[in-house]
Amino acid sequence: VGDAHQRDQVHGKAQRHNGRTSAERLDGSIAKVEKRVEELRQEQALRKEMPKAQREAEGRARSAAARAALPKTRKAGTGKRYGTAYEQPAHLRQPPQPPGIRGPSL
């Protein structure tokens, strides 16, 4: 009984420690998010006060920077093309099904 009691005590301490660690981590995350939200609010208030021409120029600059940061897309490959759009390659073709038989052909 004493051994089981000791294990329960150790288990309870470990759970409290893990819970406290998780809570501290979440508190840190919440603080970071709140700080970023406040920064965005300040930036939004500043944009509302700036002249229209300056606001538009900054918008163009942000768009250009975002476009430059995007990875360049690759062109589609030119792989082997077949005669028509609906034609399958020879190894995938099946002979036509004889009339009067229903169901998939093998």
Q: Model confidence over 61-99: pLDDT tens digits?
A: 988 888 887 777 666 655 555 556 667 777 777 777 777
Q: Which of 44, 47, 25 is nearest to 36 (CA)?
A: 44
42/34 Cα distance (integer angstroms): 12
Q: Decide if pLDDT at 30 tops 60.
A: yes
In angstroms, rounded to a whole number, what is the distance separating the alpha carbons of residues 77 and 63? 29
Residue that is written with structure tokens 């995350």 in the block: 29
- Judge contact between 55 and 47, C-beta under 8 A: yes
> According to the model, what pLDDT value does residue 88 have?
73
Cα–Cα distance for residue pair 12/92, rounded to 1 Å: 64
Give the Cα separation of 43 and 47 in Å (integer): 6
